[in-house]
Every structure is written in C-alpha cells, then in structure tokens.
C-alpha cells in the first residue's frame, strides 16, 4: 500500500495506476491507516484531492474509464476544490520517496510485470538517473 510520487504518474504501468485508484477509493471509504500512507493525514484534505486529480487526469489521458466517483465526492464534500496545491504531500514526495518508488517499480519490471512496457521502464530509469545526477552535483 503506497501512494506514488506524483512526478511518476505517467510512468506507471496501467495495473499500478489502477491500483492507485483502488487505494484512493479505500481511503475515501474508510480512511485506511497504514504505515506507508499515514503521512497523508498530516496534510489538509486538499493535498489528497490534488493527488486524486493527478490520478484521474492520467487515467483520462490513457482512456481508462471508471465506474463511479461517489466515494470520492463524499470524502471531499467539505473542501474547496478551487484551492490549488502544486505539489501534494511536498514534505514526503521528495527525491528519497522517488527513489523508493523507482526501486519498487524496477523490481516489478525485472520480474516481468506483463503491462510494464520496456519503453515505459526506460523512461522511468532515465528520470531516475537524472534525479541522481542532480543530487550528485550538490
């Protein structure tokens, strides 16, 4: 159970993107608690809303249809959707978190996840190497 780094959304295999949507719906339904996602409750709900919008936008760009957004709408009924959050979970979705996500996805690719195309993994790998090079320059 883990929310993915927002800068990687376009690099997720379809099955991982769908898993993000399932995880979000579980949070919407019962405010799941788990060591890998508890940090989201340290932020205002607008951060989760912004993150959810990133997931929905990526699903839309890939023409992935969802059945309902009822749980989402109920969960966010008290927030102002016009509040713009540029970097959801900014204190947690950082370079270290990107590295964690990268290695999780790298293992899936190396183990042969069927919907993880080589081109998608190569783009992820290139992005990871550029982040590492930037960190090495500091």
Query: What does the pLDDT look like over 1-41, one tens digit per residue?
Result: 467 677 788 889 999 999 999 999 999 999 988 898 999 99
Q: Structural domain tally of the chain?
A: 1
pLDDT, position 118: 95
Tokens 């790998």 appear where?
125
Domain that holds residue 40: 6-137
In SS3 terms, the chain reads as CCCCCHHHHHHCCHHHHHHHHHHHHHHHHHCCCCCCCHHHHHCCHHHHHHHHHHHHHHHHHCCCCCCCCHHHHHHCCCCCCCCCCCCCCCCCCCHHHHHHHHHHHHHHHHCCCCCCCHHHHHHHHHHHHHHHHHHHHC
Do the domain assignments include residue 133?
Answer: yes
Dist. CA 6–CA 22, nearest whole Å = 16
Do the domain assignments include residue 90?
Answer: yes
Tokens coding 90: 């900014």
Task: Kindly give the parts of the chain with pLDDT less than 70.
Answer: 1-2, 4
**Which positions ≥6 away from 56 have C-beta within 8 Å?**
66
Do the domain assignments include residue 1?
Answer: no
pLDDT, position 2: 65
| Torsion region of 64: left, alpha or beta (phi above 0 gives left; psi -120 to 50 gives alpha) | beta
pLDDT, position 109: 96
Do the domain assignments include residue 111?
Answer: yes
Provide the CA 81 distance to its chain's centre, in angstroms: 19
């Amino acid at each position: 159970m883990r929310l993915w780094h927002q800068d990687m959304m376009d690099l997720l295999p379809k099955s991982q993107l769908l898993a993000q949507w399932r995880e979000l719906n579980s949070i919407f339904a019962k405010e799941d608690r788990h060591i890998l996602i508890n940090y989201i409750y340290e932020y205002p709900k607008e951060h989760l809303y912004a993150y959810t919008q990133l997931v929905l936008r990526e699903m839309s760009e890939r023409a992935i249809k969802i059945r309902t957004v009822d749980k989402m709408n109920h969960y966010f009924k008290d927030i102002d959707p016009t509040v713009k959050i540029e970097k959801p979970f900014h204190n947690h979705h950082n370079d270290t978190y990107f590295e964690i996500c990268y290695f999780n996805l790298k293992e899936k690719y190396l183990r042969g996840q069927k919907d993880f195309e080589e081109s998608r993994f190569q783009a992820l790998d290139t992005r990871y190497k550029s982040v590492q090079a930037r960190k090495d320059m500091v």
